[in-house]
Structure 1
Amino acid sequence: MSHWIFTEEHEQFRQSVRKFVEKEMIPHIEKWEKDGGVPRKLFERMGDLGYLGIKFPEKYGGAESDLMMEAVFTEELTKCGSGGAAAAIGAHTGIAMTTIWRFGNEQQKVKYLKPGIEGKKIAALGITEPDAGSDVSSITTRAVDKGEYYLLNGSKAFITNGVYADYVIVAAKTDDSPGHRNTSLFIVESDWEGFSVGKKLDKLGWRASDTGELYFENVRVPKENLIGKLNEGFKYIMINFQWERLTLALNSIALAEKALEDTVRYGKERIQFGGPLTQFQVLRHKMVDMAVDIEKARHITYRAIYRYDKGDDVSTEATMAKAYATEMVNRVCDQALQIHGGNGYMMEFPVQRYWRDARLLSIGGGTTQIMNEILTKKLQITST
């Protein structure tokens, strides 16, 4: 459905991306799912088309458009039907390169942001560790000042694009002080001595994105690769979380729409008891409930994006959008699979992939339980 935050220009762009997805992505999804990643040429192709630089400044090769344009791209990309393929691109543009754009210096933007926009270098963000997920303050990777460089040691887990990335934004402890002013962000190139990739992780869903374990053993990081100010990394991560959570909400809305579209079509085509499934009121009403659930998530999310684009602090609204939309997509995809019946459980029907891909959305970027705990503080429900 159309929405007032989108202009005619946004909708024209939507049609352009939709044609690209239908022609150059959907025919290859099954192969990418089996390969466990999207090819590098997809990044290059999207770079040529300007899709990787929508919100970034023109001086680095971007289009300098608003965040509504980026939202359109995120939604249409997700409708390729593979959460993994969408995640690979989204991790590159939405969370890794965005960090350099917002907090990096001019030299870093020229060296890393520009080729990332062109699709010539793939980026990843390395925050999560085996024992530190949403609790960023618990990370153990350390960067020790050695005068001319920082010496980096530690590991990261569940890193999207981690296997094939050319550079990774790494969060590391740089101070022993308590609280949050002890973490910094660094740009680490994957071909540096001491950087290694562990096993490529075998996942339930998002199978078209490569996800890896990263190891840093006495990696020498030049001083100029520190992003922003020393010990300000936690603040940068928290600022970026607003857009990351809104992106995951958009992924959820688009994936749920895709699941509903497939289900409505299947309901009209599948014959049971002498007629299509849509002859049964109970199934028609299930589909209506799915549509209403999607609309609730859409309006919560779009309002937050509109305000975020205006420069407002939407930490509460973004958290609400993430919490509601990611649980919504699980409900919708579960109902979609149920309506497909036995066929929904078969691998040749894509609804099983939507169901698997949806499951991560309420986990990644902070679980629903973490979102709810944040909201108890934002809404002053907690007693502390």
Structure 2
Amino acid sequence: MTAPAALDEFRAHCRAVLAEHAVPFHDRWEAEGIVDRSFWQAVGRAGLLGTGVPVEHGGGGEPGFRRTAVLSEELVRAGVTAPGIVAHNDVVASYLTARTTDEQKRRWLPGACTGELVAAIALTEPTGGSDLAGIRTTAVRDGDCYRLTGAKTFVTNGEHADLAVVAARTSDAPGTRGISLFVVERGTPGLHRGARLPTLGWRASDVGELEFDGARVPAANLLGREGAGAVALMGGLPRERLSIAAVALASAELALARAVEHARERHAFGNPIGALQHNRFTLATADTEVTIARVFVDHCIDALDAGQLTVTDAAKAKWWTTELQVRIADRALQLHGGHGYLDGSPAGREWLNSRVQTIYGGSTEVMKELIGRSLGL
């Protein structure tokens, strides 16, 4: 476990790096729908990428989740688009660390840590998302390569991605037993990038589409065993969902703090609007909910670091914190009134950013289904 003093030092470092390399440019990035490529290299040089990757492969050698949570909190605090870093650091880098051969580690991990290689994960298809068994992208063995055919959408880092973890069907086995994972690299013959997708929130997320027209992927880029892709994905989902929960909780805490400040400073009918009982009760409820969520997320972080975080608890953390983020963002916008509804206002931006959190990484409905099944229902 990382010592509190070391975490405080890391937090200050994150804050300084983001203040220099992200905050001054973020409005432009949001307008353009993508962050500058130089940002990835800057945060890589600063040691903010691959914190959990072993030192021998260029990472920080800190497999615990606390540093990841601190980085997420500082991204939120700085108003910087978080999903791209989360997808790269907490999803793809963790797969590449846990599921690759030594040769694959040497090829991909150092670049992912320096920011020279930007990573993405491509699961969702135009015809479906949460149902892995419904994946239609196929991979057919052809000598020393696989031919990938199909399409993926809503790929975070889709345009910048130098490598993408892609799920494809390698057999007709029922359910998810025929799913395999491949690392598809930039420049792969038959790989085409579709249009950048304009999103309501997190506008600099670089969300795009990938198309595979018989894309020739070397057999050496198979991630793990053929047919074991679903098992690998399920093993990584608790961490991915906790990453989303960390962003959601940090966002809810920030929105609440701003709402409380506004309630103290804004006056109506001769008094601060926080003196009105309805507003005071609304904020008291939100503060209680955030406090309880913080306790549970901290519990889940400890469980993950101990190798004991269950799929069920990760699902609980993901759906509860993301729905909480949406509720608090909505309450905060209501409290800010017309000023909050202005384009670019902090309250309005948070309101827009919050909405997708209950959708990606497994929707709230899917999370509740998982929890219900754990109850034997």
TM-score, length-scaled by structure 1: 0.94
Matched, 1:337 2:333: yes
- Is the contact between residue 52 and residue 94 of structure 2 (CA under 8 Å) also seen in structure 1? no
Q: Structure 2: how far apart are the matches of 1:93 and 1:213?
A: 20
Deviations 1:88-110 (A, max 9, x none): 11111111222111101111111
Moved over 4 A (4+): none
Shift of 1:313: 4.1
Find the residue that maps to 1:178 and give its secondary structure: coil
Residue in structure 1 matched with residue 37 of structure 2 by the alignment: 40
Match of 1:317 in 2: 313
What is aligned with 1:291? 287
- Aligned residue number for residue 74 of structure 1: 72
**Cross-structure match for 2:16:** 19
Aligned letter for 1:56?
A: V
Q: Which residue of 1 aligns with 2:246?
A: 250
In the other structure, the counterpart of 2:370 is 374
* Residues 216-267 of structure 1, C-alpha deviations (whole Å, 9 max, x = no match): 0011111110011111000011111111100110010011111112212222
Counterpart AA for 1:261:
A
Contact 2:249 2:290 in 1 (8 A): yes
Asked if the contact 1:5/1:302 (under 8 Å) is kept, the reply is no
Pairing partner for 2:52 from 49, 52, 55: 55
Taking a change above 3 Å as real, the CA distance of residues 22 and 292 of structure 1, as seen in their structure-2 partners, is farther
SS at match of 1:186: strand
CA distance in 1 between counterparts of 2:245 and 2:199 reads 21
Where does residue 64 of structure 1 map in the other structure? 61
| Greater alpha carbon shift after TM alignment, 332-341 vs 276-285 | 276-285
Aligned partner letter, 1:268: R
C-alpha separation between the residues in 1 aligned to 2:268 and 2:25? 32
Q: Which amino acid aligns with 1:171?
A: A
Q: How many pairs does the alignment contain?
A: 376
For residue 80 of structure 1, report the CA deviation from its aligned partner. Answer: 2.1
Give, as a single letter, the amino acid of the residue that structure 1 aligns with 2:69: A
Secondary structure at the aligned position of 1:125 is classed as strand
Which among 206, 211, 224 is matched to residue 210 of structure 1? 206
Match of 2:186 among 174, 182, 190: 190
| Farther off after superposition, 36-45 or 331-340 | 36-45
The one-letter amino acid of 1:234's match is: A
Q: Does 2:215 correspond to 1:219?
A: yes
Cα shift at 1:112: 1.1
Q: Which amino acid aligns with 1:118?
A: T
| 5+ long unaligned stretches in structure 2 | none
Contact 2:17 2:43 in 1 (8 A): no
Report if the CA contact (8 A) 1:190-1:196 is conserved.
no
Q: How many Å separate the matches in 2 of 1:136 and 1:172?
A: 10
Question: How far, CA to CA, are the matches of 2:103 and 2:137 in structure 1?
Answer: 25
**Residue type of the partner of 1:13?**
F
Structure-1 residue corresponding to 2:87: 91
Structure 1: unaligned runs, 5 residues or longer:
none
Q: Return the offset for 1:5.
A: 8.8
With normalisation by structure 2, the TM-score equals 0.96
2-structure distance, mates of 1:348, 1:202: 16
- Per mean C-alpha deviation after superposition, the further-off stretch among 256-265 and 126-135 is 256-265
Question: Taking structure 1 as reference, are residues 234 and 193 closer, same or farther at Cα in structure 2, changes over 3 Å only?
Answer: same
Sequence identity percentage = 36
The 8 Å contact of residues 5 and 306 in structure 1, kept in 2 or not, is answered as no
The match for 1:31 among 28, 32, 43 is 28
Q: The residue matched to 1:199 in structure 2 has which SS?
A: coil
Question: How far is 1:146 from its partner?
Answer: 1.0
Aligned CA RMSD, in angstroms, stands at 1.6
Measure the CA separation in 2 of the matches of 1:302 and 1:318: 12
SS in structure 2 of the partner of residue 168 of structure 1: strand
Instruction: Report how far residue 20 of structure 1 moved.
Output: 2.9
Alignment deviations for residues 18-74 of structure 1 (CA, whole Å, 9 cap, x no partner): 333344323322211111011111111111111102111000111111221222112
SS at match of 1:345: coil
Residue 147 of structure 1 and its aligned partner are, at CA, apart by 1.8
How far off its partner does 1:175 sit?
0.8
- Provide the C-alpha distance between the structure 1 equivalents of 2:276 and 2:14, rounded to a whole number of angstroms: 36
CA contact (8 A) 2:169 2:180 kept: yes
Closer/same/farther in 2, CA of residues 252 and 162 from structure 1, 3 Å limit: same
2:286 & 2:35 partners in 1: Cα distance?
30
| CA displacement at 1:287 relative to structure 2 | 1.7
